[in-house]
Amino acid sequence: MLIIGIAGTILSNVLRISTLFLTGLYFGSEAMTFMHTHLGWVLYFLWITLFWFAAFRIAALKPKRRKSVRNP
């Protein structure tokens, strides 16, 4: 899960930076400033929600091991 978390974080930042660049290019600096202020929070919320949903689903699929109790 660590590798998936790191990869997803990097991809969401690449998406954020690309979107900021394109927004500045096509709509100007005022729109880019607005997107810079809000887009990071939106992408962070979407990514962390998706990641935790997947992590809990994977954790629920794994069988739980019972600890054996030894009597001395």
Rg (CA), the chain: 20
CA distance 59 to 51: 12
Q: What confidence tens digit (pLDDT) does each residue in 34-68 have?
A: 999 999 899 999 999 999 999 888 888 877 666 66
Residue with tokens 């629920």: 60
Q: Is the pLDDT of residue 71 over 90?
A: no
Residues 2-10: what's their mean pLDDT?
92
Residues whose CB is less than 8 angstroms from the CB of residue 9 and which lie 6 or more positions away in sequence, other chains included: 47
Residues whose CB is less than 8 angstroms from the CB of residue 19 and which lie 6 or more positions away in sequence, other chains included: 35, 39
Query: In this predicted structure, what is the pLDDT of residue 67?
Result: 67
